[in-house]
Structure 1
Amino acid sequence: MKAGQNPLGATSKPMRLSGEVYEFLLERLMSLEIKPGERIGVDALARMLDVSQTPIREALIRLEDQGLVAKLHLSGYRAAEQLTRRQFDEMCELRLLIEPAGASKAAWLMPDADISALAALAEAMAEPSSAAGQAAYTRFAEQDAVFHARISEAAGNELLTGILARQTIHLRLFRLRRLPAVTQDALVEHSRIMSAFAARDAVAAEAAMRAHLERARDRFLKAFYT
Structure 2
Amino acid sequence: MPDAPIVWKDEELSPIRDKVYDYIKQAIVSGVYKSGERIVERELADQLNVSRTPIREALFRLESQGFVKTLPRKGVVVSTLSPDEVVEIFTILSALESLAMKQAAVKAEPAHREEMNRIAEEIEKALAQPDGDYDDERWRFHFAINDVVCRAAKSPRLAAMLDGLSDYIRSFVQVGYDLPGRKRKATEEHRDLIKAVRDGEADLAEHLTKIHVENSKKAYLEALNKQ
Aligned counterparts of 2:216 and 2:106: Cα–Cα separation in 1 = 25
CA drift of 1:209 comes to 1.4
Aligned counterparts of 1:149 and 1:87: Cα–Cα separation in 2 = 26
CA drift of 1:57 comes to 8.2
Letter in 2 for 1:14: V
8 Å CA contact retained: 1:182, 1:219: yes
Query: What is the correspondence of 1:189-204 to structure 2 with a 5 Å cutoff?
Result: 189-204=189-204
Aligned counterparts of 1:177 and 1:197: Cα–Cα separation in 2 = 25
1:47 matched residue in structure 2:
46
8 Å CA contact retained: 1:99, 1:209: yes
1:161 matched residue in structure 2:
159
Structure 2, gaps ≥5 residues long: none
Provide closer, same or farther for how the CA distance between residues 39 and 217 of structure 1 changes in structure 2, counting only shifts above 3 A: closer
2:224 matched residue in structure 1:
224
Provide closer, same or farther for how the CA distance between residues 112 and 68 of structure 1 changes in structure 2, counting only shifts above 3 A: farther
SS in 1 for 2:4: coil
Query: In the TM superposition, what whole-angstrom CA distance separates every residue of 1:182-223 from its partner, at most 9, and x where no partner exists?
Result: 321111011111211221221221122122122222222332
8 Å CA contact retained: 2:45, 2:55: yes
Letter in 1 for 2:204: A
Asked if 1:14 corresponds to 2:7, the answer is yes
Provide closer, same or farther for how the CA distance between residues 212 and 56 of structure 1 changes in structure 2, counting only shifts above 3 A: same
Query: What is the correspondence of 1:208-223 to structure 2 with a 5 Å cutoff?
Result: 208-223=208-223
**Aligned positions, number:** 207
Asked if 1:187 corresponds to 2:187, the answer is yes
Aligned counterparts of 2:2 and 2:183: Cα–Cα separation in 1 = 26
Aligned counterparts of 1:32 and 1:164: Cα–Cα separation in 2 = 21
2:99 matched residue in structure 1:
101
1:176 matched residue in structure 2:
175
CA drift of 1:84 comes to 1.4
Provide closer, same or farther for how the CA distance between residues 79 and 149 of structure 1 changes in structure 2, counting only shifts above 3 A: farther
Provide closer, same or farther for how the CA distance between residues 57 and 151 of structure 1 changes in structure 2, counting only shifts above 3 A: farther
Q: Pairwise CA RMSD of aligned residues?
A: 4.3
Identical counterparts, % of pairs: 21
Instruction: Give the structure-1-normalised TM-score.
Output: 0.66
2:109 matched residue in structure 1:
111
8 Å CA contact retained: 1:102, 1:152: yes
SS in 2 for 1:200: coil
Instruction: Give the structure-2-normalised TM-score.
Output: 0.65
Instruction: List structure 1 segments (4+ residues) > 6 angstroms apart after TM superposition.
Output: 18-24, 52-58
More helix by percentage: 2
